[in-house]
Amino acid sequence: MTAVLETRGLSKSFGALEVARSIDFALKPGARHALIGPNGAGKTTLVNLLTGALVPSTGSVLLDGDDITILAENQRVKRGLVRTFQINTLFMGLTVLQNVYLTVAERLGVSTTLFRPVGSQPAVVAEAERVLETIQLHEDAGRIVNELPYGRQRLLEIAIALALEPRVLLLDEPAAGVPNAESHIILDAIAALPDDIAVMIIEHDMDVVFRFAERITVLVSGGILASGTPDEIAASEEVRAVYLGYSNGPGTGDG
């Protein structure tokens, strides 16, 4: 199956410091993939190279077989490569529906205003409501964002990304800062995403990783140490030695 997102010999250096080393990576259509690694492994660097926030020193990035290495971030988003961030980037004083409405309107090129957007374009409202239904946030549509529990704010970030109609969705620590009692809502929402979207999460929480991923890539010192199924990664002595920190299977270490 042809990869929807692929890198070939992707490298990045800042002077003598090499932060990404000849990365060959492929994400299949509809994938459920996790990128893991210790602090400083280069996970954020790789995501920034994929999304265009950084320009590689060498190598290339391909989306649906097209070389997008020189495209800007906004151009990649328009082609369906979308990410979320570890830190909220929401309009906290607007409602949940207004946040998603603004994203849909921007994607469609519909003229709107920041403070009175909802209702002026019924078709945009309907699409925003559909996105909220998909992500299980429809009951919170009328709530002001800063009144939401943090876990539901993280859900809204995923909803906004979904409103951009991604082919590839990169979720940067989607459960970061979410209390354990609420983390299941993040996983449930991700599990409900359409099958035709390739999803990769960048995550430290091994419980989240092993519950979500069908394949896992382990990054260490800017290069790929291992890639495989969760069982293969859990069984790898090399992975355990450098990162996972357990010897009897997932869930027994410190994450």
Instruction: Tell me the percentage of the chain whose pLDDT exceeds 70.
Output: 89
Q: Which of 12-21, 78-87, 107-116, 199-208 holds the top average pLDDT?
A: 12-21
Q: Please give the pLDDT value at position 245.
A: 55
Burial bucket for residue 174 (CB in 10 Å: 0-12, 13-18, 19+):
buried
CATH number for the domain spanning 22: value is 3.40.50.300
Greatest C-alpha distance within the chain = 58
Q: Please give the pLDDT value at position 183.
A: 79
Contact predicate 168/194, CB 8 Å: no
Would you give the end-to-end CA distance of the chain in angstroms? 33
What gap in Å lies between CA 108 and CA 164, rounded to an integer? 9
pLDDT tens digits, 179-190: 877 778 888 888
pLDDT tens digits, 111-136: 666 555 556 688 899 999 999 999 98
Q: Residues 150, 153, 157, CA angle at the centre, nearest 5°?
A: 140
Prediction pTM value: 0.87
Residue with tokens 């492994």: 41
What dihedral angle (degrees, nearest 10) is formed by the CA atoms of 237, 238, 243, 249?
Answer: -20
Q: Which domain holds residue 238?
A: 5-254
The count of structural domains within the chain is 1
